[in-house]
């Protein structure tokens, strides 16, 4: 694995990886590297779902549900 792939596997933000590589566009970085690591996309989806569920639970508590 290259340094970029390792950085993405370590959940480094894509914007940081873009800066590391000197890419002018984050789209180039995403198109080039994110497709190599489907587990990174799955982890991002899991974390997003966790945050949404936590926010919904908190909102429910605040509303007395």
pTM of the model: 0.56
- The predicted-structure confidence for 3-19, as pLDDT tens digits, reads as follows 888 888 888 899 999 99
Which helix (H) or strand (E) is 44 found in, with range?
A: helix 38-62
4 Cβ neighbours under 8 A, 6+ residues apart: 17, 20, 21, 33
DSSP-assigned letter for residue 48: H
Digitized pLDDT (tens) for each residue of the chain, 65 residues in all:
588 888 888 888 999 999 999 999 999 988 888 777 777 777 778 888 988 999 988 888 777 75
Q: Cβ neighbours of residue 29 under 8 Å, at least 6 residues apart?
A: 14, 17, 18, 21, 23
Give me the pLDDT at residue 1, please. Answer: 52
């Amino acid at each position: 694995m290259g340094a970029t792939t390792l950085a993405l596997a370590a959940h480094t933000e894509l914007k940081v990886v873009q800066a590391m590589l000197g890419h002018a566009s984050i789209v180039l970085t995403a198109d080039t590297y994110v497709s190599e690591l489907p587990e990174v996309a799955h982890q991002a989806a899991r974390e997003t779902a966790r945050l949404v569920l936590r926010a919904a639970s908190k909102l429910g508590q605040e509303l007395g549900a």
